[in-house]
């Protein structure tokens, strides 16, 4: 992300050798904006920012993924929601769902009411991943959920399989990254302001 405008509260300073460097105290404003931008990037692209050794963007496939999550809570909903197209869940305390949507909706243009659905609803996503949030841990989150595009890309057929705590059901392997940039719309907007 490139949210640098207010990153360093203490500005720049010179060391005894005369070299300029930024002091390391990031402002609350920058941290909040960086988190908001990062979460929206993940919602759109399905992964965190990736670059090759020359800093050229790497764009993994974007799949239509639905999480089916049992025993979710507000904290886990906050963690999981950006990483999928839809999340179908059970929450012991339904007030937590409303609270999450109320707090998070102002940070995104994605309609969270459409993204977060009750477990009882029909699931329409191309790929469904079902798991129990009680057994989710840092390892399977970082090494599986955060790497779903790469994992799914290696799967060349539809069907069902298990990986760690996750049950995968792949109905289609369509990718949608080409639909995420509307060049005609951007070009038209550019021509209107020129």
Q: Are residues 76 and 158 in the same domain?
A: yes
Q: Are residues 75 and 158 in the same domain?
A: yes
pLDDT at 157: 86
Pairing relation of β-strands 127-132 and 166-170?
antiparallel
Sign of CA dihedral 115, 80, 31, 44: negative
Sign of CA dihedral 76, 69, 177, 148: positive
Q: Are residues 36 and 98 in the same domain?
A: no
Domain boundaries, position 25: 12-45
Q: Are residues 93 and 170 in the same domain?
A: yes
pLDDT at 36: 83
Q: Are residues 30 and 80 in the same domain?
A: no
Q: Are residues 96 and 140 in the same domain?
A: yes
pLDDT at 171: 97
What residues does 13 pair with on adjacent strands? 21
Q: Are residues 18 and 112 in the same domain?
A: no
Q: Are residues 24 and 101 in the same domain?
A: no
- How many structural domains comprise the chain? 2
Residue 6 lies in a domain: no
pLDDT at 152: 95
Question: What's the pTM value of the predicted model, to 2 decimals?
Answer: 0.79
Per-run averaged pLDDT (10 residues), the chain, 194 residues: 51 66 68 83 86 87 96 95 95 85 93 94 97 97 95 91 97 91 60 50
pLDDT at 3: 47
Q: Are residues 36 and 88 in the same domain?
A: no
Listed in sequence order, the residues at least 6 apart from 155 whose beta carbon sits closer than 8 Å to its beta carbon are 161, 168, 170, 173
pLDDT at 62: 94
pLDDT at 156: 79
Q: Are residues 97 and 152 in the same domain?
A: yes
């Amino acid at each position: 992300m490139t949210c640098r405008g207010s990153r360093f509260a203490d500005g720049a300073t010179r060391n005894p050798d005369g070299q300029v460097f930024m002091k390391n105290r990031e402002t609350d404003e920058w941290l909040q904006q960086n988190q908001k931008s990062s979460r929206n990037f993940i919602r759109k692209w399905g992964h965190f920012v990736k670059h090759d050794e020359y800093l050229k963007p790497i764009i993994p496939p974007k799949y239509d993924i639905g999480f089916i999550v049992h025993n979710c809570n507000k904290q886990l909903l906050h963690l999981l929601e950006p990483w999928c197209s839809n999340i179908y869940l059970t929450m012991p305390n339904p007030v937590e769902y409303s609270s999450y949507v109320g707090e998070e909706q102002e940070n995104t243009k994605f309609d969270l009411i459409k993204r977060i659905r009750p477990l009882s609803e029909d699931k329409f996503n191309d790929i469904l991943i079902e798991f129990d949030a009680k057994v989710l841990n840092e390892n399977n989150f970082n090494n599986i959920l955060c790497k779903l595009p790469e994992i799914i890309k290696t799967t060349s057929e539809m069907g069902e399989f298990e990986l760690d705590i996750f049950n995968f059901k792949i109905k289609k392997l369509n990718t949608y990254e080409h639909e995420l940039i509307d060049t005609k719309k951007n070009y038209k907007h550019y021509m209107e302001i020129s």
